[in-house]
Amino acid sequence: MAARRGKPKSQARRGNDNRVPGWAWLLAGVLLGLGIAAFVLYREGFSGKPGGPTPNPTATPPATSSEPAVAPPLAETPKRPRYDFYTLLREQETAVSDRELAERARAEAEAAAKQRAQQQQQQAQQQTEATASAPRERYQLQAGAFRDAADAEALKARLALVGQFARVQTDTINGGVWHRVRLGPYSSPGEAEAAKRALAANGIDAIAVRESGQ
């Protein structure tokens, strides 16, 4: 009976020796975690771009066709007519030589000058007609007035000696007959003044008389 009881104790001791200790499981867990972390870092490639897309090793590239891609046909645009310089010139214009251009310019200048001359002539004619239609002022010089006609004729002869032509006008003024010795007429005040100075230079006094006429 004592030998049977001792035999189970040796079997129990061998069973306890085959059991894995706890620290071994802890170490195995740590190593497994480090391996997983190393695998993840290797997959990311240490690119410094965390959170990027993770390549799918099972993904397959899209199938490509061996035939080249055909672009869709473009809408046909209406053809624009092609204009050539010389063709356009022949259809719409006529080339002008330098000689012809110079002749045309000279003819144009002559026509303009002729037109200006005609306008000036018309203006001068209108001015002349206006002057002729306006009343004209004339001037005479009276060298003396006498009751006796002989005295008047004597003064007229004296004037002739100094180169001045005079005439004797006989008029009735205030009921009496007078013989007046006159020179002129003169068409302008300047002309009358020059004749008056010539008479004064020869000692003959005269007065200027202005009269209006048509």
CB-hemisphere CA count at 13 Å for 40? 9
Quick check: 1 pLDDT over 50?
no
Backbone angles phi, psi at 207, to 5 degrees: -115, 150
- Mark which of 108, 134, 160 sits at the end of a domain: 134
Is 196 a domain residue?
yes
Distance of alpha carbon 34 from alpha carbon 36, whole angstroms: 5
- Mark which of 89, 111, 134 sits at the end of a domain: 134
| pLDDT for residue 194 | 93
3-state secondary structure of 57: coil
33: pLDDT confidence band, cut at 50, 70 and 90? confident
pLDDT digits (tens, 9 = 90+) for 100-132: 778 888 898 999 999 999 998 888 888 877 666
Q: Are residues 150 and 167 in the same domain?
A: yes
pLDDT digits (tens, 9 = 90+) for 44-76: 765 555 555 555 555 555 555 555 555 565 656
pLDDT digits (tens, 9 = 90+) for 152-201: 999 999 999 999 999 999 999 888 899 999 998 998 899 999 999 999 99
Higher pLDDT, 38 or 201: 201
Is 58 a domain residue?
no
3-state secondary structure of 72: coil
140: pLDDT confidence band, cut at 50, 70 and 90? very high
Is 116 a domain residue?
yes
| pLDDT for residue 16 | 53
Please report which residue ranges of the chain form alpha helices under DSSP H.
Answer: 2-17, 22-44, 85-92, 98-133, 149-161, 189-201
Backbone angles phi, psi at 208, to 5 degrees: -90, 135
Please report which residue ranges of 55-148 form alpha helices under DSSP H.
Answer: 85-92, 98-133
Cα torsion through 34, 37, 43, 46, rounded to 10: -100
- Mark which of 88, 117, 134 sits at the end of a domain: 134
Higher pLDDT, 163 or 29: 163
| pLDDT for residue 39 | 79
| pLDDT for residue 196 | 94
| pLDDT for residue 204 | 92
pLDDT digits (tens, 9 = 90+) for 3-17: 455 455 555 455 555
Domain CATH code at residue 163: 3.30.70.1070
Backbone angles phi, psi at 20, to 5 degrees: -75, 130
3-state secondary structure of 100: helix
Domain hosting 117: range is 98-134
| pLDDT for residue 131 | 63
Q: Are residues 171 and 128 in the same domain?
A: no
DSSP per-residue codes, 124-147 = HHHHHHHHHHSPEEEEEEEEEEES
Average pLDDT of the residues in 27-35: 83
Quick check: 214 pLDDT over 90?
no
